[in-house]
Amino acid sequence: MINIEYSISKLKMKERQLETLSEMVDKEGLTQCIRLLSTYIALYKKDFGELSAESYESILSSTELDTDMLSMFENGIHEAVTMLGMIVNMRKQQDKNQLAVTIN
14-51: buried (b, 16+ CB within 10 Å) or exposed (e) per residue? Answer: beebbeebbeebeeebeebbeebbeeeeeeeeeeeeee
Q: How far apart (Å, rounded) are the C-alpha atoms in residues 36 and 54?
A: 25
Give the model's confidence band at 12: pLDDT under 50 very low, under 70 low, under 90 confident, else very high: very high
Residue 84 is classified by DSSP as H
| 77-89 pLDDT tens trace | 999 999 999 999 9
Q: How far apart (Å, rounded) are the C-alpha atoms in residues 65 and 5?
A: 10
- pTM for the predicted model, two decimal places: 0.77
Q: Do the beta carbons of residue 7 and residue 71 sit within 8 Å? A: yes
The Cα diameter of the chain in Å comes to 59
